[in-house]
Every structure is written in structure tokens, then in C-alpha cells.
Chains A and B, each alone.
Chain A
Amino acid sequence: MLIGHQPKEFLLAVEALTVSFDGFKAVNDLSFYVEENEIRVIIGPNGAGKTTVLDLICGKTKATSGSIQFRGKELTKLRENEIVKAGVGRKFQTPSVFEDLSVFENLEISFPRGRTVFGSLTFQRDSVVKDRVEEVAEMIFLKDRLKTSAAELSHGQKQWLEIGMLLIQNPDLLMLDEPVAGMSVSERAKTAELLNRIIKDRSVLVIEHDMKFVEDIAHKVTVLHQGQILSEGTMERVKNDPKVVEVYLGH
């Protein structure tokens, strides 16, 4: 019955999204679409609204107008924990891990079971949980640090731990805010390797300033400027866009 050009099924469809803080439009009539298994990188100068876009998708900030459709669900109407249950995971810019808990406990809390009050009272640390925690810990290079308190990890290891906490949730859309900021060169290479491994079977939305890193991982790049899209496309195309060179890559 379906004839002609069909609109593609997008995993995430952001349309006419606007948020205004006391009249200042941090994100202004923004629309973009993310496909299944796509790695999208958002770049742009400081104050372009990159982090705000992630905040809007994960529910941390409420949109003034516009819509965010994720698998046909309207995210702007859901609470943060419901958005997580829908399959969206978010990593913050500064590593936010639970420093008073061990690496194991950090990962265990993120395991998607027993998320209600009474569910968490009766939660059992069974072999399913233990195996999954160990599996993820191995991916994030922390297998031999499971008993270490998270406070004792290095900055880079904390970033990995937070990525691991998202992985264990097994989200369909993973949002990472500057995952390699403040990392050493060797940590950066390891993170790129980690990201390349975990992007299978899911879409990833990344904010990053490190252009070398962006080139390594991005399928498609969106350049934001003053809350609006300046340019969008492959890295090659964006890099040669005179507008982008002027406001962002030029300096």
C-alpha cells in the first residue's frame, strides 16, 4: 500500500525545540533527527546550547515549546526516570559517579532492576547481576578495581565508570557530554576504542571539542551556533563549510 518516498523511521526526532531562560533563547527552533545505530556528534562554540540540548532530551530542563519524539514517545511529557526507562542514557560533562560507593556498587545501582522503593529493598545481588557487572567492568577497563571506592579512581577512570553505568542500563540512545575532556592521550585512545565497541546496537549522541576524536567516531556532525543549526552533514562537508570555519573551526 505504501507508495513512493517514505519518511525514514528515526530513533530520535527533535522538532522545533525551543527553550528560553528569562527571554534568552538557549535553544531556538532546533530540529534534527538521529537514526538507529548512528553516531552523531554535536560541535559548536561555547554557549551554543550543546549541553542544553542534551538536558532537554533527558528531561533535566523542560522545553518551552517543540517536541522530542523517541521511538514514537513524546519525551517532553515524561519525568527523568521515565525517560531513562524509555531507553535514553545520559553521561554528564563532569564525571558524576558515587564516590562513597565501590565500583561494583556504582555499576549495580545502574543495573535496570529494582528501581522502585520496595524493589530496591528486596533487590538480590544474584549471579545475573554479578555477571553483568563483571562483563561491563571488563569493557571499561576496571575489572580489577571492582572493590575500589570510586573516590580513588583517576579522572579518566571515573569517566569510564560513568560510561559503564550507562552501558549496564543498555540504553537505545546514549548521550555523552565531552567524554574525553581532561583525559591523557593514552586514555583518549582507549576511550575511542571503548566507544567504538559500545556503539554497536545503539545510537550515540556525543558533544565533543576534540576534532581529532570527532573525526574518528562521527557518522554525522551537527554544528550548533547560538541555539540553532549552523551546518549538518559528514565531517568532511562540515569542515569545508565557510560558515563553520568562520564561527568555530577558524580559531
Chain B
Amino acid sequence: MIINSRFFNRSELIGFVSLLLLLVVILPLALDVFRLNLVAKYLTYAFVAIGLVLCWGYGGILSLGQGVFFGLGGYCMAMFLKLEASSVANTKIQSTPGIPDFMDWNQLTQLPFFWKPFQSFPFALAAIILVPAIFAFIIGAAMFKRRVGGVYFAIITQAVAAILTILIVGQQGYTGGINGITDLRTLHGWDIRTDHAKLILYFVEVFLLFVAILVAQFIRLTKLGRILVAMREQEDRVRFSGYSVANFKIFAFCAAAVFAAVGGALFTLEVGFMSPSFVGIVPSIEMVIYTAVGGRLSIFGAVYGTILVNFAKTSLSETFPQLWLFGLGALFIAVVLAFPNGLAGIWGDYVQPRIDRLLASRTKKSGNGGLVANGAPAE
């Protein structure tokens, strides 16, 4: 696919195959549908983490507001599902039948104009991609053209996350308020709440996750991927090599937004509701932690990091609900201080060289003296 260099190097191939085995074979066989649905929920965050690898790990643009795009994608999907669930037959006890229940509670008597196009599934699907992309483009263009970057950009993305949360909570009649959009039932008449549907949705999601991984890997291997790395290090040198740095940053930010939005839309399908608690500052920062723990320079590391941190979160928050947030904070600090490249860095620096040495000594013993395992560059 890419001239002169393989699509995956050795450690990436190991990551790809082991992830494929884990998600397609091991977890579906080992877990019941309830637990598998939890994994599906975790994996929706993996989309965000993959986007952050491109945007933050490669491009050096730290966004602390990915929840915004996760939420926008999730709300676009939820609006379609909610309209389908609010048929006249289902809502005949309301004073205005045929509109979502929360609108009726808030004395709305007709569907707001921006809800109407969401009756169409193709429109909703397009909106899941386009709404976050356009929103990210506007933020990106406003910031990067003015050379706002680094910490300032991170703070502004946080502010955007806070503003959107306040907006959603405040406009209860149009958004469902703090409860979000709940009681989603069917997709084109197909009940998404049954165990069978959850199993199918899990595999659809895993398929899309691998598509996302391949797209991210493709971007990483093009010249654009190398320009992102170059930009992270020497922004001026890129500028004075004839590139518009702002445009490349806008692209990376929009790409990350689209990845996050796809995750958000799948979240709505898997979990059956969407609420502002997945939009704000805290979830946005958690998403960055998943990426940091997994390794911000490794697409596979980020996916594994997301799964592991979420497993830890579920099991620890069940046993020690008050301690969990401290644990998460401590984990983040520990990773940043000791292992800036996260789990993927630990793998590349410590585990893989040891395996290589082991393999090398074994091949020597078996007599193939000249054969030494090549140390793939740590990523």
C-alpha cells in the first residue's frame, strides 16, 4: 500500500494480530453479554484515543475537549434514535404525541427545526461525521490561524467542553437537559436492547475500530504523518519549508474530532442513551489519560490503554468508589513522570528487547548462528 515501507512494522503487526485475537475471539468467548457490552462501551473511547494519538501524540496538539466531539457524535445518533422511539403510537399519552418525551415535559408543542432532519437515517449518519468536523474546523481555524497553541489551546478546548455542557443542561426542552436523551429502543425497527443485538453491535464496533486503526495508520505513514512529527518538533522549520502549519493542525484536530464522534455515536447505540456527563471537562481529561497510559505515540497502545484503564475503573469504582478518582490521577502522574510513552513505551523499551534477546540466543543454540532477530525501532 505504501511504497517502500511496510504498512505495519513488526511490533505493530504483533499489536494488530493480538488485538484482533483478543477482541474477536478471546473476549466474546470468555465474557457473558453483559460484560461484553461493557467492553463495547470501553472500546467507544478507544476511537477517541486513536484520534488523540494523531492529534496529540504526532501533531503535538493537546486537546482537553475531545468529549465535545464524542458528545456531538453521540447526540446526533441519539436524536435519530429518540425520534424513532417517539412515534405517535408510542407517545399517545403525551399532550403533544409524536415528539420526544422530554420536550413534552418542557411544554414544547412541536419538534424544533434542527431536530427535523434527524428523522432521516442517512442525514443522521452524515451529521455524525460532519457536525463535529465542521465544529472542529471552526475552532481550529480560529485558534491555529492566530498561532494559539500549546497550553492555551488546551485551556480553550476545556472551556468549549464546559460551555457545551452548560448549554445542553440549560436547554432542557431541546436537549433533554442533565438526563440526556434516554429510552432509546430501536434502529430501523431493530430492537437494540436485546442480548442478540448487543452481540451484533459489538462486532460491528470491533470492525469499525479496525477500520479506524487502519485509517489512522494510513495517515501516519503518509508524508502528512511525517509533517505532523516535524511540526511537533520545529514548527518554524516546517513553516519555512513552505507549509501552512495552521492548515495541518486544523486537519489533525478535525481528524481527531471525527474519530471521537464515531466513538460517541457507537456509545449511544451500545449503551442506549447519551447525556452531558460524557461531554464535559472530566470525561475529556479521562480520554487523554487513556491515551497517555497506553502510549500517545502508539495507535495500538492507545487502544490497549483505554481497555485497561476502563477495566480498572469499573472494578475499582465498584469496590472503592471514593478512591477511584485519586487512583486515576496518581496513574496519570506516574505515567507522565516515569513512562512518558506509556504502555507502548514500556513494551518497546523493556519487553521487546528481552524477547528479541531470548529469541536470538535460542536461534544461536539451535545452530542458525547468523540469524539475529532484528530490533524493530521502538515506537
A-side residues, CB < 8 A to B, are: 58, 60, 79-81, 84-85, 89-90, 92, 96-101, 105, 108-110, 112, 114-117, 120-126, 162, 165, 169
Residues of B within 8 A of A115 (CB): 242-243
Residue in A closest to B251 when the chains form the complex, CB atoms: A117
Q: Can you give 26 contacting A-B residue pairs, CB < 8 Å?
A: A79-B244, A81-B239, A85-B242, A89-B240, A90-B240, A96-B237, A97-B237, A98-B229, A100-B229, A101-B229, A101-B230, A108-B223, A109-B226, A109-B238, A115-B243, A116-B247, A117-B248, A117-B251, A120-B223, A120-B227, A121-B222, A122-B222, A123-B222, A124-B3, A165-B237, A165-B241
Closest-CB distance, A155 to chain B (whole angstroms) = 16
Residues of B within 8 A of A109 (CB): 223, 226-227, 230, 238, 241
CB distance from A131 to the nearest CB of B (A): 14
Complex Cα distance, B241 from A85, in Å, reads 9
Q: A85-B242, A116-B247, A117-B247 are in contact. Are A92 and B222 (CB under 8 A)?
A: no
* Distance in angstroms between the alpha carbons of A97 and B230 in the assembled complex: 8
| Nearest 6 CB-CB pairings of A with B | A84-B242, A123-B223, A120-B224, A98-B230, A120-B223, A96-B237
- B233 near A: Cβ within 8 Å? yes
Main secondary structure of the interface of A (DSSP, over half): loop
User: A105 CA to B4 CA in the complex, in Å?
Assistant: 13
Say yes or no for B219: interface residue by CB 8 A criterion: yes
For B224, list chain A residues within 8 Å (CB): 117, 120-121, 123
Query: Of B219, B239, B248, which is within 8 A of A80 by CB?
Result: B239
- In residues 209-263 of chain B, which contact A (Cβ within 8 Å)? 219, 222-224, 226-227, 229-230, 232-234, 236-245, 247-248, 251
Given A100-B229, A120-B222, A125-B3, A60-B244 contact (CB < 8 Å): no
Question: Which B positions have Cβ atoms within 8 angstroms of A?
Answer: 3-4, 219, 222-224, 226-227, 229-230, 232-234, 236-245, 247-248, 251
| Complex Cα gap A89–B194 (Å) | 64
Contacts of A92 in B (CB 8 A): 236-237
Residues of B within 8 A of A101 (CB): 226, 229-230
Which of A85, A109, A115, A165 has the most C-beta atoms of chain B within 10 angstroms of its own C-beta?
A109
User: Which residues does chain A contribute within 8 Å of B226, judged by CB atoms?
Assistant: 101, 105, 108-109
Residue ID in chain A nearest B229 by CB atoms = A100
The chain A residue with its CB closest to the CB of B244 is: A81
Q: B residues within 8 A CB of A117?
A: 224, 247-248, 251
Q: Report the Cα distance A117→B4, complex, angstroms.
A: 22
